[in-house]
Amino acid sequence: MRLNFSRRWIVACAAISILAMAGCGRKSSEVDDAALRAADGDSANWITYGRTYSEQRFSPLKQIDEQSVGKLGLLWSYDLGTLRGVEATPLVKDGVLYTTSAWSIVYAFDAKSGKLLWSYDPMVPKDHAKYVCCDVVNRGVALYKGRVYVATLDGRLVALDAKTGAPIWDVQTTPKDSSYAITAAPRIAKGRVLIGNAGAEYPVRGYVSAYDAESGNLAWRTYTVPGDPGKPFESEALKRAAATWSGEWWKAGGGGTAWESMVYDPELDLVMFGTGNASPWYDVLRGKGDSLYAASIVALHADTGEQAWYYQTSPGDNWDYDATQPLMLATLSIDGAQRRVVMQANKNGFFYVIDRENGKFISARPFAPVNWATGIDPNGRPIENPAARQLKDAALVKPSAEGAHNWNPISYNPMTGLVYLAVLEDTSLHAIIPHWKINLHDQTTGSDRAYRGPARDAYLKMKSSGRLLAWDPVAQKEAWHVDLPDPKSGGTLATAGNLVFQGRADGKLSAYRATDGKLLWDFDAGVGIAAPPMTFSVDGTQYIAVESGWGGPQVLSNRPPGKGHVGPAKLLVFALGGTATLPPYQHVDRPVPMPTFKLAASKAEIEEGRKLFANTCARCHGGEAVSGGSVPDLRYVSTPTHEMFEEIVLGGARREFGMPSFTGDITPPQVRLIHAYILDRARESAQADAKKK
């Protein structure tokens, strides 16, 4: 709404009167640009995703320290009403806690008591889950001038009234009903809401958008990869990038989505973000070349979205090595000089320190086992192992496509000089679908999940492991680590109490001594914790908050032992002396019943159904048709469901529950083959369970 001059004068006078009555110089409690720039000095609140613009996730609070942490206990909890993954960082401002759950649902609580103040459901169409590689998660909100901003799974950006949760505006940031999705938390820079998108496993072209926080109008949009070279390029940067692509990459979109990491540096007035994989995954399918600006860290001028610099971490990425892992700003003493840097523990296994003024490479060292490269040359380019790229049959590549580190937030303690992060040591088996063709209605990776060649035997013998790592970014070496009982774990929080908090896949929220990694305290939440902990203070009391609830591709694809981590998601808030408890939760494996539905199929048809299931259905319903627990296990389905199987898969009969239609992806005869495979797996499992009795 535009105000005329007289009305603006009346509003201004009223504002001056209110300020006079409140007392001159009284600090506003509003989250504005000044508050965001000064967030490091506001220890009580946590007003942006990484607490400050630097995203170091370090809190100066120390009421909970290495001496008192043993008295930490649960104060209150809230059931988020889902078995799907939860990954949000709660934000707190003046005693109100804001967070999100699966399906982009937003909540506001009284941070001390846990009283629900309001909730907002954006009503995401459940069948949009088809276009989300890694669960229907949401990583949180942004706060600015009395509003709460949330990005939804179906690509919208919504502004809510912070007091009531009422929507103020709602804009579609992606093509409606397309393959794009959003799982990230928005960021705020100079009165604009910044948001990227996800979907590089699908036919999409990545971009970052900036919206006016007041009106919701688009200020600028910057694409991450070049489009059709037969059309004008949107910028000189994209014109230069096109020279690093070959083939007809644009037909599959190109990928390069900015689906997670984003930071704003107010000193340099730069927005930095990481980009995802190129699409398709493999260069023999999309064309050779570096494929800029996929798998890169990119800096834009905040006012215009014009590119300032870029650094590509995995040129010509062939292994799903996104550069979307958390970015962190710091000033480090390197070779006797103070350098303003951006740091990243990349999916590809290398920890990078980059000059954030110009994007120049400073250093990189592996923080996990790596076999795709032997190192990084002085110019910052990886020294590749040719065997990892060839994929003549299949390749066993380290780190895995899940990454040596993924989206889970990392933290930095300026008092210890260490970065704290989760590390996964795992291997991926990369094989290409024979005779692959682009499907504009489904995934475009080209990865053959049905592969059963000679490399699979070696792959099945490999084990994975995980650890909490303290890393010295100046010396580029490990300070200490803690081996974890489960390979996968959550994000970290560092505090001035000499503590590091981390949630784990086995359900433990743990506190370690920051200087040496000694375990000082833990709490069993009963279900896995992927989300990062955060801390805040109200009326002089320090609290720790975290969401518990395990999800993501590790559950959906069900590589063991993921199943046991799934359970009811909750928001947990702790304080010294807390005595609250959680209701007991025990996952029980029911014996698979012998199916009574009959469908005649030969062994050859069942094998063909296995291949179709692996490349179409397993991403949600689990490898070998064994669900991770957050979506239905198809071995257990009833006879009535079997009777309407094609109606569900092609007709969309259960869209409202999150099961999309695959019309256009597979044919009725192929649905029959998949159905035959599921029934065969149910019979196998039922027979095996009967023998256990």
Q: Tell me the C-alpha to C-alpha distance, in Å, between residue 349 and each of 374, 376, 404, 480.
A: 11, 11, 5, 17
| Pair 153, 103: CB distance under 8 Å | yes
Mean pLDDT over residues 639-655, rounded? 95
pLDDT at residue number 557: 65
Q: pLDDT tier at 558 (50, 70, 90 boundaries)?
A: low
Q: Is the confidence at residue 11, as pLDDT, over 70?
A: no
**What are the extents of the domains in the chain?**
603-692
Q: pLDDT tier at 2 (50, 70, 90 boundaries)?
A: very low
How far is it, in rounded angstroms, from Cα 635 to Cα 681? 7
The residue behind tokens 């949760």 is 165
The residue behind tokens 């707190």 is 92
Mean pLDDT over residues 414-437, rounded? 95
pLDDT at residue number 519: 98
Q: Is 18 helix (H, G, I), strand (E, B) or coil?
A: helix
Mean pLDDT over residues 174-187, rounded? 96
Q: Is the confidence at residue 29, as pLDDT, over 80?
A: no
Beta sheet of 477-483, edge-to-edge order = 411-413, 418-425, 465-472, 477-483
How far is it, in rounded angstroms, from Cα 107 to Cα 544? 17
94 is catalytic: no
- Which one from 154, 290, 317, 320 is the annotated catalytic residue? 320
pTM: 0.93
The per-residue pLDDT of the chain, averaged, comes to 92
439 or 92, greater pLDDT: 92
Q: Is 418 helix (H, G, I), strand (E, B) or coil?
A: strand
pLDDT at residue number 342: 98
How far is it, in rounded angstroms, from Cα 494 to Cα 509? 14
Mean pLDDT over residues 671-675, rounded? 97
Mean pLDDT over residues 279-291, rounded? 94
pLDDT at residue number 560: 45
Nearest to 559 by CA among 640, 661, 692, 460: 460
pLDDT at residue number 8: 32
Please state, for a pLDDT cut of 90, what percent of the chain lies above it.
84
Q: pLDDT tier at 354 (50, 70, 90 boundaries)?
A: very high
| Preceding amide of 560 cis, omega within 30 | no
Nearest to 297 by CA among 312, 279, 277, 283: 312
How far is it, in rounded angstroms, from Cα 479 to Cα 101? 35
Task: Provide the CB-side half-sphere exposure for 187 (13 A, CA).
Answer: 31
Please state, for a pLDDT cut of 70, what percent of the chain lies above it.
95
Q: Tell me the C-alpha to C-alpha distance, in Å, between residue 308 and each of 222, 237, 303.
A: 12, 9, 12
473-525 per-position pLDDT tens digit: 999 999 999 999 988 899 999 999 999 999 999 999 999 999 999 999 999 99
130-148 per-position pLDDT tens digit: 899 889 999 999 999 999 9
Q: Is the confidence at residue 232, as pLDDT, over 70?
A: yes
Architecture (CATH level 2) of domain 603-692 = Orthogonal Bundle (1.10)
| Pair 408, 491: CB distance under 8 Å | yes
